[in-house]
């Protein structure tokens, strides 16, 4: 029992955080990148992110991303090259974020969950306040697309 309790709780007696695998779409059109602002409610209110969401059991990351983009923005994307997989510990969970470059095949982004979206050139991405899990990917994208 002691061992079970030790497993379920962190070293300072706190509960072990949830680890969540999330995918994000770096949708590029005419050299601009689609950025999405989270709503005022829930985790990370008002922060900017790449549209996407949690990988469901049995899904590949690419399948999850195409599904999320269809559900969230009503757009069809072709999921391309991997950008990065990075992990960030927030107060509410540990997020493993995997981002892919995507091509918009069909549709114009419709806001169903986000507060706003905008298209920015890579060198202006860091003007937004990104969710902290996204910052390494944003830096990689800026470097890759401006060099
Ligand atoms: N979709 C997306 N989520 C991100 C990014 N960066 C980042 O830290 N996250 C976090 C926010 C959420 O806690 C989680 C993604 O879950 P989600 O897209 O289902 O977001 P949510 O808050 O609406 O979901 P929920 O927990 O309320 O069910 O990952 C990102 O670039 N895209």
Whole-angstrom Cα distance, residue 69 to residue 23?
A: 10
Distance 1 CA to ligand 1 centre (A): 34
The pLDDT tens digits of the residues spanning 20-77 come to 999 999 999 999 999 999 999 999 999 999 999 999 999 999 999 999 999 999 999 9
Q: Give nearest CA residue, ligand 1 atom 27.
A: 42
Gap from CA of 85 to ligand 1 centroid (Å): 15
CATH homologous superfamily of 17-146 equals Nucleoside Triphosphate Pyrophosphohydrolase (3.90.79.10)
pLDDT digits (tens, 9 = 90+) for 64-108: 999 999 999 999 999 999 999 999 999 999 999 999 999 999 999
Q: What are phi and psi of 137, to 5 degrees?
A: -65, -40
In whole angstroms, what is the distance from residue 29 CA to residue 51 CA?
A: 15
Angle at 118 between CA 113 and CA 122, to 5 degrees: 130
Tell how far the Cα of 106 is from the centroid of ligand 1, in angstroms.
24
Q: Which residues line ligand 1 (CB under 6 A)?
A: 20, 22, 24, 42-44, 49-50, 52-54, 95, 97, 131, 133-134
pTM of structure? 0.91
> What does residue 70 show for φ and ψ, rounded to 5 degrees?
-70, -45
ipTM of predicted assembly, 2 dp: 0.94
Q: CA angle, corner 130, sides to 44 and 136, nearest 5?
A: 120
């Amino acid at each position: 029992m002691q061992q079970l309790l030790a497993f379920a709780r962190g070293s300072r007696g706190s509960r072990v955080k949830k680890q969540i695998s999330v995918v994000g779409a770096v949708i590029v059109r005419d050299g601009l990148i689609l950025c999405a602002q989270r709503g005022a409610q829930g985790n990370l209110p008002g922060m900017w992110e790449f549209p996407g969401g949690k990988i469901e059991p049995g899904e590949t990351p690419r399948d999850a991303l195409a599904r999320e983009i269809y559900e969230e923005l009503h757009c069809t994307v072709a999921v391309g090259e991997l950008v990065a997989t990075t992990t960030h510990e927030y107060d509410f969970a540990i997020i493993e974020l995997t981002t892919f470059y995507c091509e918009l095949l069909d549709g114009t982004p419709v806001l169903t969950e986000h507060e706003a979206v905008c298209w920015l050139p890579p060198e202006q991405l860091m003007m937004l306040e990104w969710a902290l899990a996204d910052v390494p990917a944003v830096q990689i994208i800026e470097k890759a697309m401006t060099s």
